[in-house]
Chain A
């Protein structure tokens, strides 16, 4: 009996959203390059990587909201269906970074939520208004009935962001895409907004794709993490495994840059150099010019994602990444 259990094949995870060979390009230069990943039902998948890695373009591709001039190819399926038009805004919703741009400045917040309710459900105006107030109340807007009549500029940054979360939850989505939902906020409000987002997501049983550059947020809030570099997958796996024992030198580099406990040091370890601009990629592995482990093989062929140690890693030398990653990266300036 017991041996049957231990010998059972690895669990095949069901997929809510599947992305295959996603490419996003601008006049011939690719900003997202052959990216494949799944989002599982109810999970929190964090999307991290340095500025310009293609996180926002990936998030926007899911929502069909790519900027003008962007060309997309590849496949995005929700529950196996590639017809996403009807799902966007309902089954897949967005919490943008900048709540002000998501709300109209000339209508009261409650009115905007009520309009959204009526676009999703056949209900009376009065019923829609009631649901809007209830939604604001659920995200912790104090005195929601009164605040519903106020305009976005009369809200604080944190309240606005919570109102936008309330808006994103109206359609009872299966997947919420949040692009740096707290970057514009100070640390205290950041925590508050993340808490509200987590509560709402859990209550709805929705999955969350959380774009963030904050690895502490990843540790506290995500189940799995997708690390992107120069438009591609670098590492994808469970948060604990990836952050405690990274197998991609790039992930190791990101972790090495965090301020550590221990004695005060004025200079922090950094990744040398800068990420390449799309269209100016080095040959072979895009990370090679910055990678302390780069070898000849890295400068000829770009590594494909493969399974190493329970996660996907795109690195020729994933097996050789040492456990003590901080020492891999130099400290401060060369003098």
Chain B
């Protein structure tokens, strides 16, 4: 039996005296979508950040592809980071305002040594096209795009890293219905083609119902007993 793509055990995260995440456990297989649902402030986003090791937990384990991450140093984590990519709600936060969209999407390819002048530009154009952005927008900088266009660019950039796990924090709630459906279909295609795992934070029950394989409800930092069992 192979290890799950992501295995989170007894996660605890505190902000000062507040326990934001209080003993959360769940597992996620490759090719599967697990939705994390619950009222605002219940610890969903903190859980997501901790899975990505952008915040270190106070206790508990985060195993990614069988490797325990919480004990790794930042340096040891670096080669693993491209494989687990965040997609946040606000794309402006994740794109450098001074970089052209094309360069932002190309950067992961370059950093990871997958860029060649021969096929790099076409890959960037294909990524933009895949997220529903006319490749001519590659010339622009984030502030020259509308909000929705910028969000799509952020998703293209995340996909450029060829991740195994996407941690999606309200990734489509700022998008138009048409783009949202397109992005959800795109995520479904990528999952089918590449076996990506998705940890999917989303408030829209209708979207969750169509998109997620399983739902975990959180409340006050814990998994709510009403969650369907795994």
* CB contact between A264 and one of B148, B151, B210 (< 8 Å): that residue: B210
- Residue numbers in B under 8 Å from A187 (CB-CB): 173, 203-204
- Residue numbers in A under 8 Å from B136 (CB-CB): 277, 280
Most buried by B among A56, A184, A253: A184
Q: CB distance A268 to B184 under 8 Å? A: yes
Q: Is B110 on the interface with A (CB-CB < 8 A)?
A: no
Q: CB distance B170 to A186 under 8 Å? A: yes
Hey, what's the 0/1 contact readout for A259-282 against B, CB within 8 Å counting as 1? 111001111111100101100100
Surface stretch bound by A, among B62-70, B72-80, B174-182: B174-182
Q: CB distance B178 to A50 under 8 Å? A: yes
Ranked nearest first, the 8 interchain pairs of A and B with the lowest CB-CB distance are: A51-B148, A187-B203, A268-B181, A257-B181, A259-B206, A213-B176, A257-B177, A271-B178
Q: A268-B184, A277-B136, A280-B136 are in contact. Are A259 and B178 (CB under 8 A)?
A: no
User: Which residue of chain B has its CB nearest to the CB of A279?
Assistant: B136
| 28 A/B residue pairs, CB under 8 Å, sorted by A | A50-B179, A51-B152, A51-B179, A52-B145, A52-B148, A180-B147, A183-B147, A183-B174, A184-B90, A184-B174, A186-B170, A187-B203, A213-B175, A214-B177, A254-B177, A257-B177, A257-B178, A259-B209, A259-B210, A260-B206, A264-B210, A266-B211, A267-B184, A268-B184, A270-B182, A274-B133, A276-B134, A277-B136
Q: A51-B148, A254-B177, A266-B210 are in contact. Are A277 and B134 (CB under 8 A)?
A: yes
User: Which residue of chain A has its CB nearest to the CB of B203?
Assistant: A187
- Residue numbers in A under 8 Å from B189 (CB-CB): 333
Q: CB distance A186 to B203 under 8 Å? A: yes
Chain A nearest CB: distance from B124 CB in Å?
16
- Classify the secondary structure of A's interface with B: loop
Q: Contact residues of A with B, CB < 8 Å?
A: 49-52, 56, 97, 180, 183-184, 186-189, 213-215, 253-255, 257-261, 264-271, 274, 276-277, 280, 332-333
Count the B residues whose beta carbon is within 8 Å of the partner chain — how many? 38
Chain B nearest CB: distance from A190 CB in Å?
8
Q: Is B89 on the interface with A (CB-CB < 8 A)?
A: yes
Q: CB distance B89 to A184 under 8 Å? A: yes
Q: CB distance A51 to B149 under 8 Å? A: yes
- Residue numbers in B under 8 Å from A56 (CB-CB): 146-147
* Distance between Cα atoms of A260 and B184 in the complex (Å): 14
Q: CB distance A274 to B134 under 8 Å? A: yes
* Distance between Cα atoms of A270 and B184 in the complex (Å): 10
Q: Is B4 on the interface with A (CB-CB < 8 A)?
A: no
* Distance between Cα atoms of A267 and B151 in the complex (Å): 20
Chain B nearest CB: distance from A64 CB in Å?
20
Q: Is B195 on the interface with A (CB-CB < 8 A)?
A: no
Q: CB distance A97 to B180 under 8 Å? A: no
Q: A264-B210, A274-B134, A280-B134 are in contact. Are A269 and B181 (CB under 8 A)?
A: yes
Q: CB distance B40 to A189 under 8 Å? A: yes
* Distance between Cα atoms of A260 and B174 in the complex (Å): 19
* Distance between Cα atoms of A277 and B101 in the complex (Å): 15
* CB contact between B185 and one of A49, A52, A260, A267 (< 8 Å): that residue: A267
- Residue numbers in B under 8 Å from A258 (CB-CB): 177, 181, 206
User: Which residue of chain B has its CB nearest to the CB of A189?
Assistant: B40
* Distance between Cα atoms of A213 and B182 in the complex (Å): 14
- Residue numbers in A under 8 Å from B40 (CB-CB): 186, 188-189
